[in-house]
Chains A and B, each alone.
Chain A
Amino acid sequence: MFQPQKTYEFYSPTKVLSGNKALENLPVELDGMNAVKPLILTTPGLSARGMEKVMASAFGDSNLTIGVFAGVPPQPDLRLIRELYSLYRDNGYDAIIALGGGPVLDTAKALNIAVSGKPEDLESLASGNPLTKKLKPLAAILNLDLSGCEMTRYASLGSLSLTSPALIPDLMIIDPRTATEEEQKTMAATSLMSMTQAVEACLHPARNHLTDAYAYGAARFIMENITNVMRNPSERKGRLALANAAFFAQTSFDNLAPGMVYELGMAVSRSCHTKPGLIMGLLLPHFLLLEMRKETTDRKDLYLFIGGPEAFAGTMAEASARKAVDRIVEILLELQSIVTYFPRSIRDLGIKKEDLEKIVAHGSAAGVRGEYDPQDIRNILEKAWETRF
């Protein structure tokens, strides 16, 4: 929050509705966007948990007709988008409601491109041509099983990577009936993803007043609620706070380039099929310890984000960066004692030592921002492999 001022851009086009009876506002919100017939996309799993009934009840007394497609698979593909495209067109839908995390939003964003123009626009966008048409209304209803990109400009569909600010959902709803309990490990992964996005936003060289404000909200909500919710998943307010934190973290992440821990976490996740949030949680302390040894980064207020104003103000400036790391490690240790089968190092995830070199090469070649030294990346990965929390 104390950086020199550079020119920045910030954009968050999403309207947030969070809390009690939020779902019931959908009809009014859709009407404000000139939509009357939404198609809800969700997964078979969420459908089996009764989410369709919840949605039907939320639309009760609205006089609207809603469609529900409850077949979004873990790996949606172009074939699915083409099927949904016909379904959307043939039945006269005029908006999409995505209920759930990761793949549901990927499907919804891709479908929205197709129905707002034509299915071929997907390949066109993936090969770098910007979208020219305004997209149809898209609402996202978040739960606590998230990929970290739901509320961002990013979507992926098989081999296609789609990036456009137009993909960001117009509306985000967090409601106690849909942000329900997930497995402990799933909720931990979601929150550690948010935490990583928030911490990296706070240390980012291009941080600005608004990414700071969002990252601050995210970090505070996670630190105040993560262990409570793991201990007592029926704690409804805590779950809503974590879902809110995910949105805040994603919004600050979306307005900055992805950070190193995020990119490495994604890379490691691809080679061991573990949720990236868990891996990022394991990488984060090692990354921070390495950062602290450098003189270049402005990190003196990280502890404000992590510890809150009371703790931050009560700590000597020189000690505060170290305190932030300690606090994060404490949280990880606590999670280990609460969450069953919580990994303690990336070695626990079945990563072999010789795999690390591949990830280093991949990390420094592709995604990870140029300013990181491959030696740093190797260092962090090795530490996260050897050290067991």
Chain B
Amino acid sequence: MELPGYYEYYCGVKIIAGHDALERIPGILQDLHARRPMIVTDKGVAGAGLVDIVLGAVKDQLTIGAVADDVPPDSDLRVVNRLAALYREQDCDALIAVGGGSVMDTAKGINIVVSERADDLMKFSGAGALKRPLKPLVAVPTTAGTGSEVTLVAVVKDHERHLKMAFVSYFLLPNASILDSRMTLSLPAAITAATGMDALTHAVEAYYGLSKNPLSDATALAAIRLISGNLVKVTRNPSDREARLAMANAAALAGMAFSNSMVGMVHTLGHATGSVCGVPHGVCMAILLPYGLEYNRHKREAVMGELLFPMGGSDVFAGTTKEQRTDRVIAYVRQMNQDLHDASGGRHARFFKEVLDREGKPAVPRERLLDIARTALGDGSIFYNPEDLDYDDFLMVLEAAWEGVALDPGCIRT
């Protein structure tokens, strides 16, 4: 195991994982001296009956102050302020966020407003602006992928002022994250596949990134092993509770790894593709991950080869020479995309040209690749990528990922 010359690591979130983890929420809130939480969630989650499951698990021991189930997918400052007002009216003293990224961000935003009595959230954006603990926040993720249940960032948009405010603080970390198999059991196959590949990307990029450290390594390896053993399985058989729980664990482990070791070019390009073409994040990650491995390979050959152990298991690892391991790792990721494509009835995209939007039209027209490459130049995740990329490099990678062909090693400038 490698010890870097210097590293930092932190994940102060209490993790509770299991088939009946939700039942522990009352005890956790009691330890945090809270007795009247507000539940924050969205229509989709509520409609799928997940809020009822949460309520069923906690209601005997807990008074719920309010249930706000109308966080929109594109949440913003207005929603945050409205729900903060509800929190105060109902005299709540803690938050339970049930949902994905948008719900988590909104709940974190509400928490800043109600804890700091902030009339202008902007005052608390940027690093180091929050100086003390906020109200108790319990995160209940309903997808297994983003890892936002263990990350310290919140992004809140202000649609009126056309601003995107980023909040970064340890105090934004949830006090506890509840990983319960019941919360992901009804996730459709294509979303299961894409979010699972998002988690795999977090772990893999954390493992070969510049900020890797022994704890991000250990959590990344555990995540990769769980994903390799369970993602295709659960996409084929969505009601497999053990595999669902394994994936929820994997997503949280990968979240711990990347929030401490950061991510690289797969995220740089993924963020850019998401913002230019509106492609879901997990889909971009699945498509781009093989290219992150190929592009950085000359700088990280040995480290990448180590990933064959959690991906392929003992026998494959022992049976492959050191020189061939990285090849196998890259092939393994591509095969995984293929298997997920098959398991989801073709809905899991393997390259950009087969990504479709809601109307069934190609979501990433080839001519937009130029815009994507330009946007990528402004994404901070590139700092942590082992090799540098300029506009031409971004475009070269995007072209290959659009077509679905391997990178030409001759085109990678070293």
Contacts and interface: CB of A to CB of B under 8 A. Distances in A.
Interface string A245-261: 00010000000000000
B124 to A, nearest CB: 14
B391 interface: no
Interface in A2-24: 4-22
Contacts of B11: 12
B246 interface: yes
B314 interface: yes
B6 A18 contact: yes
Nearest to B229: A2
A32 B128 contact: yes
A150 B91 CA distance: 40
Given A7-B16, A7-B19, A7-B21, A16 B7 contact: yes
A1 interface: yes
Given A5-B246, A213-B253, A313-B314, A10 B15 contact: yes
Contacts of B306: 309
B186 to A, nearest CB: 19
A12 B12 contact: yes
Interface string B1-17: 10111111111101111
A314 B318 contact: yes
A353 interface: no
A212 interface: yes
Contact of B222 (A18, A19, A213): A213
Interface residues of B, number: 47
A121 to B, nearest CB: 16
A5 B1 contact: no
A172 B395 CA distance: 43
Contacts of B315: 313
A10 B215 contact: no
- Give the interface size class of chain A: 35 or more
Contacts of B249: 5, 209
B299 interface: no
B221 to A, nearest CB: 8
A312 B233 CA distance: 26
Contacts of A7: 16-21, 24
Contacts of B3: 18-19, 221, 237, 240-241, 244
A214 interface: yes
Nearest to A4: B242
A5 B214 contact: no
B214 A19 contact: no
Interface in B119-163: 128, 131-133
B242 A5 contact: yes
A209 B253 contact: yes
A20 B5 contact: yes
B308 to A, nearest CB: 9
Given A32-B131, A248-B214, A9 B219 contact: no
A27 to B, nearest CB: 13
A217 B217 contact: yes
A224 interface: yes
Interface string A12-55: 11111111111000000001101000000000000000000000
Given A1-B222, A217-B217, A309-B306, A15 B16 contact: no
B170 interface: yes
A19 B17 contact: no
A8 B249 CA distance: 11
A32 B170 contact: yes
Contacts of B12: 11-15
Interface in B165-221: 170, 213-215, 217-219, 221
Contacts of A217: 1, 214-215, 217-218
B309 interface: yes
Contacts of A34: 131-132
A88 interface: no
B349 interface: no
Contacts of A309: 306, 309, 317
A31 B130 CA distance: 11
A17 B8 contact: yes
Given A6-B18, A11-B14, A237-B3, A248 B215 contact: yes
B404 to A, nearest CB: 31
Contact of A221 (B1, B24, B242, B309): B1
A221 B18 contact: no
Given A8-B16, A309-B306, A313-B318, A19 B7 contact: yes
A220 interface: yes
A29 to B, nearest CB: 9
Contacts of A212: 222
Interface in A305-347: 309, 312-314, 317
B226 interface: yes
A32 B132 CA distance: 8
Contacts of A8: 15-18
Contacts of B10: 14-16
A317 B313 CA distance: 12
A14 B219 CA distance: 16
Contact of B309 (A9, A224, A313): A313
A1 B242 contact: no
Nearest to A251: B215
Contacts of B9: 15-16
B314 A208 contact: no
Interface in B1-46: 1, 3-12, 14-21, 24, 33
Nearest to A28: B128
A134 interface: yes
> For B214, B219, B242, B314, which residue has the most chain A Cβ atoms within 10 angstroms?
B214
Interface string A194-207: 00000000000000
Nearest to A255: B15
Contacts of A208: 17
A151 to B, nearest CB: 13
Nearest to B320: A313
Given A1-B225, A212-B222, A224 B1 contact: yes
Interface of A: 1, 4-22, 31-32, 34, 132, 134, 208-210, 212-214, 216-217, 220-221, 224, 237, 240-241, 244, 248, 309, 312-314, 317
Given A9-B15, A17-B8, A209-B226, 9 more contacts: A15-B10, A18-B6, A18-B7, A19-B3, A32-B128, A208-B17, A217-B218, A248-B218, A309-B306
What 10 A-B pairs are tightest by C-beta distance, nearest first?
A: A7-B18, A19-B6, A313-B318, A213-B218, A15-B10, A13-B12, A220-B1, A313-B314, A11-B14, A309-B309
Interface of B: 1, 3-12, 14-21, 24, 33, 128, 131-133, 170, 213-215, 217-219, 221-222, 225-226, 242, 245-246, 249, 253, 306, 309, 314-315, 317-318
22 contacts: A5-B249, A7-B16, A9-B14, A14-B10, A15-B170, A16-B8, A19-B7, A20-B5, A21-B6, A132-B33, A210-B253, A212-B222, A213-B221, A213-B253, A216-B218, A217-B1, A217-B217, A240-B3, A241-B3, A248-B214, A313-B315, A313-B318
